[in-house]
Each structure stands twice: as C-alpha cells, then as structure tokens.
Amino acid sequence: MAKKAEHRGGAYPHVLVLLGFNQYEFMRGIFAQARELRWTLDTNYNRMGLTPAPGETYSGIIAVVGKQEELDVLRRYPTTPCVDLSAAWLWDLAAKGANRVGRVTYDPAALGHLAAGHLLDQGYRHLAFVNVCNGWHERPGIRTMAEDAEKRGGDFREIPLYRRITTRPPYSATCHTPAALRWLAKQLRELPKPCGVVVADDWAPHLLSVCAQSGIAVPADLALMGLFNQREVCELAPIPISSVDIDFEHIAREGSRLLGRLMRGAKPAAAPMLLPPRGVVVRQSTNMLAVHHRQVAKAVHFIHEHFRAPLSIDEIATAAGLSRRGLTVAFRRELGESVARYIARHRAEEAGRLLCETDLKTAEVAERAGYTSLEHLYRAFKRTADTTPARYRQQHRRQR
C-alpha cells in the first residue's frame, strides 16, 4: 500500500535539492525517496546552477554543502528543515552562520578500515595515505589504517600533501600545482616498494601521472587505492582504480528519510548519522598480489601493460632484466605459477571484468582481453569457469 502523501496546506511537500556536485547516485537515492514520500523537487541548482528566486519557499532542503554559494542559500532559510549529506569541507555549518541541520554521511573510520584491509590482504605490508585536505573526514581513516597495519605486522605513513596546497577548501582538493606534484613525486619515490597507497579518487589520476613520469609501476611498485568509488574517475583512468564504495545512493536515501522526519517536526541529532561503506570495488590498480622480487615485479607490470598483444617469454624476460630461465624460475618461486599461466589468468580476469561491467559484444571483449579469436575466448572460459562468456555475463550481472 502506498504511503499517504504528506500534505502541507493542501500541497505536496516542496523540497530544494542543493547538491554541491551533481553525483548521479545521490540524485537516484533522492528521487527514489521523493516518489515514496510524494515530494516535488526543485533541482534547478543542480541542473542549471540557479539558486532559488527571492520569496521562494520550501518544506525542506537536502544539500551537499561544498561551496560558499550553497552555504549562502542555507542562510536564507534558517527555519526550514534541512539535511546535509556532505562530509568534507563545511562540516560545522552552525559555526558558519547556517541553521542547525541533520547530517548523514559515510563512516570515515570504516572507510579507512576497508581500504587498509584490501591492501593488506593483497600482501602489501607497507601502506601510505596521501592526505589532501586533513579534514575531519580523513583523520579517523588515517588512525584506522595505521592501527590495522600495525596489528598485521605492517607499517604506515602519511604523506601530508595538504601542506603543499595553499588555496582554501574545497578547491585544495583539485589544486595540482607543478610544485605540489614535484614534491609528491619525491614522496612516492621514497616509499618502500611494493607499497599500497590510499588517496581520494579525484587525486588518484594525478598520482598515476606522477608514477608514470617517475618510473614507478602501478600496481607492481605501488598499488593505488581510491576512496568513494566515483566511477567516472576510477573506470576512465589510464589504469582503472580500485576504490572503496561508500554507496552514495544509500546515503541519499537515508538523508531523505531523515528529512521527512524533520519535516514532520522531529529535531536533528547533534551527532551525524554515519553509514558503513558498501565494500571494495577491485580494479587493475591493486589487482595483483604484492611482489617483493624487483625483477618479477617488472615482469608483472610489463604483462599488465602489454597483455592485449602476443607476448613471448623472451620479450618479458628482457623487460624484467632477467634471462629466460631466470625469469621462469623466479616467477614460479614468487607467484607459484608459470609466466604463461599468469598471462592466461590475467586475460581471463580482464575478459570477465569487461563482460560484467560493459555492454561490449563478445568478439570485442575477446579482442580487448588479448585473445586472437572468439574461439580462444570460449576455450579459456570453458577451461577456467566451465561456462560460456554469455552465461558468465548473465550470472555475474545478476549478482551485482
């Protein structure tokens, strides 16, 4: 049975959507709750950058406060129920002159725990965190990562990049000055290798560029772990970036539910509602076990860069700086399998990823995963998964 509409003065509740950035999953969560609660939405700010006209009134406001412009809008509605979903820049809204609001966001300590756990499970014992804001949303995660590394016999260090960024938040998160990047390159070169490095998604592509310019292989030397799983960043990077998925849609749903309660007269809690992340989305930037043998790490990196083309053992050995026999012996000792088996497994994993995450035709999946023909792809899936590519895609998409 549908819920009774919440009328105010005979009209459906009118809610202002004031998001500082147009995150698709946020909008999907808000839309789902708006349908259930029978709200009408003002999305002009998100669609066209238009702030409310003078005299416009609202039953409630749901916001991600990231710029002064959003804060100024909130100050115009000091008595309107409001829920803020932001976690980073303008957290203490009351101190900045806005009304007291409900707050729903992710749990930063849990975020750090998942990021560190994934890297430690991959075999990395050296962990580092690139701190770009030093905000309240980063410090609990830093503590969690350090504690988890220590508990499991590893070590942890913080790279305080925020000290090299002079502009004020929120713009510090994207201020990539040449001086800051040179300093960052020096820090990354000095890390013990192999090392797992955690950074917010918006900075991860810049770390990839710094690594490429400094001769640092990802993930063989540095496994790069993002935070927040912003797919337009993580999936389109030159090396797709693993990331912790904080589930923006769930945060928006819970925030919208809270706003509904506030609009019915409830009072916002003094403490924020912190929601656990959904999990880790593994992509190429961490998708290998930590390799402590330098030449084998080079071989693995070469395979990851060139697996789409035909590869010979001699070619890989040359890239690694080893003889053919030296590579064969070291590779099996370090990774427990032959070079040929590793290449076959990596191609199959890439084909599986493309089948699950894209709508590419099977023939194109085969080509992009390094198979010389569609028949070779079918044989590989029969051998490794005992199924066909089409059935694999159907089965695993249902599980997502």
What phi and psi values does residue 204 have, to the nearest 5 degrees?
A: -60, -45
Q: Which of 384, 374, 378 is nearest to 346 (CA)?
A: 384
Do 19 and 45 form a contact (C-beta atoms < 8 A)? yes
CA angle 387, 304, 198 (to 5 degrees): 105
**What's the confidence (pLDDT) of residue 99?**
55
Q: Is residue 342 part of a domain?
A: yes
CATH code of 313's domain:
1.10.10.60
Q: Is residue 1 part of a domain?
A: no
Q: Is residue 68 part of a domain?
A: yes
Lookup: tokens for 108: 């930063």
Furthest CA-CA distance within the chain: 82
Q: Decide: residue 39, CB within 10 A, 0-12 exposed, 13-18 middle, 19+ buried.
A: buried
CATH code of 38's domain:
3.40.50.2300
Q: Is residue 48 part of a domain?
A: yes
Q: Is residue 7 part of a domain?
A: no
Domain total of the chain: 3
Query: What's the rounded Cα separation, in Å, for the pair 143 and 153?
Result: 16
Q: Is residue 3 part of a domain?
A: no
Q: How far is CA 220 from the centre of its chain?
A: 20
Do 205 and 224 form a contact (C-beta atoms < 8 A)? no
| Number of neighbouring beta carbons within 10 Å of residue 117 | 16
Q: Decide: residue 274, CB within 10 A, 0-12 exposed, 13-18 middle, 19+ buried.
A: middle
**What's the confidence (pLDDT) of residue 20?**
76
Does residue 127 sit in the same domain as residue 228? yes
pLDDT tens across the length of the chain (400 residues): 334 434 444 579 999 999 877 678 899 999 999 999 999 999 999 888 889 998 899 999 999 887 778 888 888 998 899 998 986 544 455 544 455 788 899 999 999 999 999 998 888 889 999 998 877 777 889 999 999 999 988 999 999 998 887 555 444 455 677 888 899 999 999 999 889 999 999 899 999 999 999 988 888 789 999 999 988 899 889 889 999 999 999 999 999 999 999 999 998 887 789 999 989 998 889 876 667 787 888 888 889 889 999 999 999 999 999 999 999 999 888 877 899 988 998 898 888 888 887 889 999 999 999 998 999 999 888 887 788 888 888 876 644 4
The length of the chain in residues reads 400
**What's the confidence (pLDDT) of residue 86?**
82
Q: Which of 80, 77, 75, 81 is nearest to 96 (CA)?
A: 75
Residue after which a domain boundary falls, among 286, 315, 344: 286
Does residue 102 sit in the same domain as residue 147? no
**DSSP string spanning 297-321?**
HHHHHHHHHHTTS---HHHHHHHHT
For 199, the domain range is: 108-246+281-286
Does residue 68 sit in the same domain as residue 125? no
> Which helix (H) or strand (E) segment is 126 a member of?
strand 126-130
Does residue 371 sit in the same domain as residue 299? yes
Do 64 and 21 form a contact (C-beta atoms < 8 A)? yes
Query: What's the rounded Cα separation, in Å, for the pair 347 and 365?
Result: 10
What phi and psi values does residue 227 have, to the nearest 5 degrees?
A: -130, 135
pTM of the model: 0.72
**What's the confidence (pLDDT) of residue 387?**
84
Q: Is residue 2 part of a domain?
A: no
Query: What's the rounded Cα separation, in Å, for the pair 294 and 308?
Result: 23
Q: Which residue has the tokens 């925020």?
A: 162
Q: Is residue 196 part of a domain?
A: yes
Does residue 270 sit in the same domain as residue 324? no
Q: Decide: residue 344, CB within 10 A, 0-12 exposed, 13-18 middle, 19+ buried.
A: middle
Helices and strands (H and E) in the chain: how many:
16, 12
Does residue 240 sit in the same domain as residue 152? yes
Does residue 226 sit in the same domain as residue 128? yes
Does residue 240 sit in the same domain as residue 140? yes
